[in-house]
Amino acid sequence: MVKPTRWPSLQQRRKLWVEVHLWLGLVLGGFLTIFGVTGAVLVFQSEIDHLINSAFFKAEVPPGAQRRSLDEIAQAAMRAAPAHWESGGSTAPKDADENYIFGFWIEGGTPPPEEAVSINIAVNPYTAQVVGRRVFYHAWNPFKHCFIGFFFKLHYALLLGDVGTTVVGIMALLLVISVLSGLILWWPLDGKWRRVLTIKRGASTVRFNHDLHQSVGFYALVVLIAVLISGVYFNLPDQFKWTVAQFSSLTPDPSPSPGRALAPGVSIDRLLRMAETAYPGGTLNYFALPDPKTGLLNACYSDVPSLRKYVVDMRCLTIDANRASVVLVADPASGSAGDTFMQWQWPLHSGQAFGWTGRILVMLSGLMCPLLFVTGILRWQHKRRARQTAAMRRA
């Protein structure tokens, strides 16, 4: 409980935070609703995508067939990709009867009929044949993105391209301030914690709305802060890294081999076997095709036994294909405190750091955003009507 002598100064500061919280909520609350709802959907992006596009992901397994090598599978995808692709990679299938889905990003877009800046190519792992192709991001029409692609673009860029990405990053930073100002206003100066942690039974509509707004805001606080801060990172990565580097050094990106360009005849299978021998444990989760300009490729492994004590049990390796050596290890057991903090951002943003519990919490916090916005608007209207009534009585 705050001492009575401090109440006047605290009440004065509280008025300032009321204004900050009010105007940030009014201006950005609608956008927070969009970010929250789309984020709730994207928490289960893989499951939803598999459900609505099962034929694209499902692999036909010929009787007695053996899986082809990653080199054959990757070559099939690269032959089917448009010329001058920037980069490509694939999430490793979780089940034996799933296709490899490769993503490619194309500079300037592809010609009709696709007109895409990003496409997915499905390759059957048992025949090494391309069995599907889809536009992930259309070059100019957001309604021609695939379903999950549309939600991604709306979530992190409001369908506004690079400008939208920057604007959403700034909004996320301002929303962090909004959430923290809400915590300041929630804090009970009189020490009556039960009042701010519960919804009063049998209360009036005004009181119920007030209690609902502050209770939902408090219980969603930790998750919202984590998701918003990580959102700032994904939309403003350079500025975020610079800020983190002021507190802890960050491991620089690896330098490519002197030749830089990818040498011919590089085997992805051989490179991954080499990496897995040097850094054993875990299941291949994702691998990127070797970059033809630098000769570097990335591979990420989940469920690494030695990392389970760190909660985030994923290890990502950067491999120099020309030198056949691992040039960077990114996992919670390696690097500086700043590196570890950076590695936590995606698992926190997606909820994957805590498995199904984390994903459900992130989903629920996203679905609470419209509730916070609506109850905040109602709270503002109640106060405005009260002030108008008081002014009329004084007149």
What pLDDT digit, counting tens, does each position of 32-68 carry?
999 999 999 999 999 999 999 999 999 999 998 899 9
Write out pLDDT tens, residues 75-98. 999 899 887 777 678 988 989 999
d(C-alpha 54, C-alpha 46), whole Å: 11
DSSP result, 354-381 = GHHHHHHHHHHHHHHHHHHHHHHHHHHH
pLDDT band at 190 (very low <50, low <70, confident <90, very high): confident
pLDDT band at 255 (very low <50, low <70, confident <90, very high): confident
For the CA atoms of 388, 392, 394, 395, the dihedral, rounded to the nearest 10 degrees, stands at 130
Q: Are 328 and 317 in contact (CB under 8 A)?
A: yes
Write out pLDDT tens, residues 291-349. 888 888 999 999 999 999 999 999 999 999 888 899 999 999 988 999 999 999 999 99
Task: Say if residue 131 is exposed, middle or buried (CB neighbours under 10 Å; 0-12, 13-18, 19+).
Answer: middle
Helix (H, G, I), strand (E, B) or coil at 144: helix
Query: Residue 226 above 80 pLDDT?
Result: yes
First to last CA, the chain: 38
Kindly report the average pLDDT of the chain as a whole number: 90
Write out pLDDT tens, residues 119-176. 999 999 999 999 999 999 999 999 999 999 999 999 999 999 999 999 999 999 999 9
Residue 43 contacts by C-beta under 8 Å, 6 or more apart in sequence?
350, 351, 359, 362, 363, 366
Q: pTM for this one?
A: 0.91
pLDDT at 368: 96
pLDDT band at 238 (very low <50, low <70, confident <90, very high): very high
pLDDT at 225: 97
Helix (H, G, I), strand (E, B) or coil at 394: helix
Write out pLDDT tens, residues 338-386. 999 999 999 999 999 899 999 999 999 999 999 999 999 999 998 888 8
DSSP result, 5-16 = GGHHHHHHHHHH
Q: Are 83 and 58 in contact (CB under 8 A)?
A: no
